[in-house]
């Protein structure tokens, strides 16, 4: 610590560092590794972080979403298998009118009532949200998840509001920074609601503001 850190460029927060933030938030000593960790609190801290990391990503952000992502049919089985990392899957309603849905990891044809697709269906494009590993997510998102998890973790382990070191104000500040980055990436506006998000780029005042970053969050 001390002057040694002043001469080093800070790196991204690792999952280990985030776990240690949670541990220090309840007065526990940091751990050196997450491999075969014997400290019960460290294991709970890691599970809490990953729980909220998944939940936060499931809402969909610019950096983990894809529009009109193609899913190609396997010609051997005549099925489309969607990767397990996809947590939201929505085909174009103007093209398919709700015909295709996701059941488990298979694309289901509601018209044919089967996961075995007709010969004329070669692929289905859908708007998707992917779950990404910790290191693939932006630092502001991981920071928000760390602060949020620290609050919940201390409540679960200690069950005392008086022992919170991170407050709801800290959590909101971290979320605001994440939303600011999201808005910069997506360029939300009143006309088109951002790149690639409207099927017809016609004038639609108010829709962009209703959509908003992060699926409609309001910045407090």
Phi and psi at residue 66, in whole multiples of 5°? -135, 135
- Stated length of the chain: 220
Give pLDDT, residue 151.
87
pLDDT reported for residue 219:
42
C-alpha dist (Å) from residue 173 to 19, 157, 167, 180: 20, 24, 10, 11
- Sketch the domain layout of the chain as residue ranges: 11-59+135-215, 64-130
Tokens of 113: 């009532």
**Residue 13 burial (CB count, 10 A):** 16
CA 100/CA 53 separation, integer angstroms: 28
Q: Tell me the mean pLDDT per 10 residues along the chain, length 220.
A: 69 94 92 86 94 92 94 96 94 87 94 94 94 96 93 79 59 78 66 51 50 47
The answer to whether residues 132 and 64 touch, using CB atoms and an 8 Å cutoff, is yes
Beta bridge partners of 91: 126
pLDDT at 106: 96
Conformation bin of residue 216: beta by default, left when phi > 0, alpha when psi is -120 to 50: left
Q: Which residues pair with 102 in a beta bridge?
A: 107
How many beta carbons lie within 10 A of that of residue 146, not counting itself?
24
d(CA 61, CA 58): 8
pLDDT at position 111, please?
92
User: Tokens standing for 69?
Assistant: 């992502």
- Nearest CA to 197 out of 62, 85, 81, 71 is that of 62
């Amino acid at each position: 610590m001390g002057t040694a850190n002043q001469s080093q460029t800070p790196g991204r927060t690792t999952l280990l560092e985030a776990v240690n933030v949670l541990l220090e938030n309840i007065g526990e000593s940091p751990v050196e590794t997450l491999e075969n960790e014997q400290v019960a609190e460290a294991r709970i801290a890691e599970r809490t972080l990953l729980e909220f990391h998944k939940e936060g990503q499931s809402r969909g952000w610019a950096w983990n979403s894809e529009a009109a992502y193609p899913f190609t049919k396997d010609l051997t089985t005549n099925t489309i298998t969607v990767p397990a990392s996809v947590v939201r899957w929505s085909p174009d309603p103007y093209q398919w009118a709700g015909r295709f849905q996701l059941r488990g990891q298979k694309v289901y044809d509601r018209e044919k009532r089967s996961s075995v697709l007709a010969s004329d269906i070669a692929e289905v494009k859908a708007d998707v949200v992917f779950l990404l590993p910790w290191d693939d997510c932006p630092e502001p998102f991981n920071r928000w998840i760390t602060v949020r998890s620290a609050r919940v973790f201390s409540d679960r382990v200690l069950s005392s509001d008086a022992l919170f070191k991170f407050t709801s104000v800290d959590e909101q500040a971290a979320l605001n920074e994440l939303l600011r980055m999201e808005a910069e990436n997506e360029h939300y506006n009143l006309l088109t609601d951002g790149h690639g998000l409207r099927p017809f780029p016609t004038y639609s005042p108010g829709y962009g503001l209703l959509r908003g970053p992060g699926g409609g969050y309001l910045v407090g």
